[in-house]
Amino acid sequence: MDHAGPGQAKVLRPRVWGYGTLVAMAGIGTFLFVGPLQGPEGNFPVAMSGMAVFSVGLYIQRQATKPARKTSS
């Protein structure tokens, strides 16, 4: 199949998608292991920064579905 199905974006830059996945998983791992899985004594600021890193990873993945910018030189 050459096209993305309904609700799916075509990944034009797979390497960028992979970097976004790595960043997102590092963020969600930090969030889970420092925050909710530690109970009430979890470190809230570090957990929320993990969630912010997760969001950055999703943004990077979103950029992988757009064509690369051409720079004029």
Total Cβ atoms within 10 A of residue 64: 20
Query: Would you state the pLDDT for residue 4?
Result: 67
Confidence of residue 73 (pLDDT cuts 50, 70, 90): low
CB-based contacts of 10, cutoff 8 Å, min separation 6: 3, 4, 65
Q: Is the pLDDT of residue 71 over 80?
A: no
Question: Closest Cα to residue 62, out of 17, 31, 6, 22?
Answer: 17
How far does CA 64 lie from the centroid of its chain?
11
Q: Which helix (H) or strand (E) holds 49?
A: helix 44-63
Q: Is the pLDDT of residue 8 over 90?
A: no
Question: Closest Cα to residue 21, out of 65, 59, 69?
Answer: 59
